[in-house]
A and B are shown apart, each in its own frame.
Chain A
């Protein structure tokens, strides 16, 4: 290797000595550059730049703080604005969607996704006069269940439906809102066209039948046809 190329690859100490580096820089720590004629561009530019950065990021943080809530995972969401708008009522579409979800999870096992039921055992819901008829009757069926023989659409069925409401002996304990959502769903699906059912109506029925502790039979529900 020649001495003037890549000489730092050899063992001699090249370049500045260590103590001079430290001495020089100790002085430079406090020394700003000499000003040219006119104004000091560098410190001014830097001051402006740093201030702008702080300002811009502060605005960013305040805008996207999402209320500093540990429950919010979307930075565009403002919990205060949402709280101010009060309890959100579900739109009719959301009610039907919620009812459909519960139906598919639970009811479809017997009544089938298509609402046609199983011959002789589980009555169909599609086109059923029980579903689109008096809301008092269909609410009671869902709340307390129904067992024994039943005629639907001219055909005969004999099975047992459990109680879904918050009733004595019930295993599902669905609240009024869920009961109303499922009933609203089946009353507008598969060609059925009947009015939605509100949770207040369900609550009213529940209160009236507080004493009921076993599923209905078809005959007992005749007064509500």
Chain B
């Protein structure tokens, strides 16, 4: 260890080992995945995000939603993400191909808020599907729709504007203290609309072939089976 060149070579190979084994190997084995073409439906999955949802994803990144929300469903039996008796955060485990077309993969690492991967494919706490209206109210003031939420209010995604002629179809229906002054309405800004469009695009319902690679515990031997050989 007294020779600088030996030390340098050792240090180089030590990191090269994990760089090649982890980063390069994965880039080669599954970084080159292609979309899965479904002959039935004549489409390639995963599908690209529609334009406004792609803009919404940028809003999601800009506001740093990844600090509190994950976007990955773990396998059944690993926590309560999916499977029997789970929170129903997904029909199945998230697979690598679900994220294939994402320019920025937002797996997340904190569940200060719930997982969002299948937001558009599951029900909220009241048992209803998530709609744009519900999400707008939630972002404006979570207390309007959910008790004890840790979500801050994103009122800056909305603007108050004067009602000219007919009220806007996108205006939030608020009452009491939250309602705007008479003659005014609260509508989402373009950022707010984009974000909600993105959230409503989050669903991983396509069943790729690899989603069948799920471990099934071996069936317990029935008492009668053992006797069969003797008959």
Direct contact of A and B (CB under 8 A): yes
List the interface of chain A (C-beta within 8 A of B). Answer: 26, 29, 69-74, 76-77, 79, 82, 88, 173-175, 178
A70 CA to B75 CA, complexed, in Å: 16
- Indicate whether A175 sits within 8 Å of B39 (C-beta atoms), given known contacts A71-B210, A74-B214, A74-B215: yes
Report the interface size for chain B: residues with CB under 8 A from the other chain. 20
List the 8 shortest-distance A-B pairs measured between CB atoms, nearest first.
A76-B215, A70-B30, A71-B210, A70-B29, A77-B215, A72-B213, A74-B75, A74-B215
CB–CB A174/B40 < 8 A? yes
Interface SS of chain A: loop
List the B side residues contacting A72 at CB < 8 Å. 210, 213
Q: Which of B39, B40, B213 contacts A73 (CB 8 A)?
A: B213
A26 CA to B215 CA, complexed, in Å: 54
Could you pull out 22 A-B pairs where Cβ atoms are within 8 angstroms? A26-B2, A69-B213, A70-B29, A70-B33, A71-B213, A72-B210, A72-B213, A73-B75, A73-B93, A73-B94, A73-B210, A73-B213, A74-B213, A74-B214, A77-B213, A79-B213, A88-B212, A173-B39, A173-B40, A175-B39, A175-B40, A178-B40
Interface SS of chain B: loop
A73 CA to B30 CA, complexed, in Å: 12
A175 CA to B209 CA, complexed, in Å: 16
Is there a chain A Cβ closer than 8 Å to B15's Cβ? no
Report the number of A-B residue pairs with Cβ-Cβ less than 8 Å: 40
List the interface of chain B (C-beta within 8 A of A). Answer: 1-2, 26, 29-30, 33, 39-40, 42, 75, 93-96, 209-210, 212-215
List the A side residues contacting B93 at CB < 8 Å. 73-74
A158 CA to B108 CA, complexed, in Å: 53
A89 CA to B77 CA, complexed, in Å: 25
CB–CB B96/A73 < 8 A? yes
Q: Which of B26, B42, B96, B214 contacts A77 (CB 8 A)?
A: B214
List the A side residues contacting B95 at CB < 8 Å. 71, 73
A134 CA to B226 CA, complexed, in Å: 43
CB–CB A29/B40 < 8 A? no
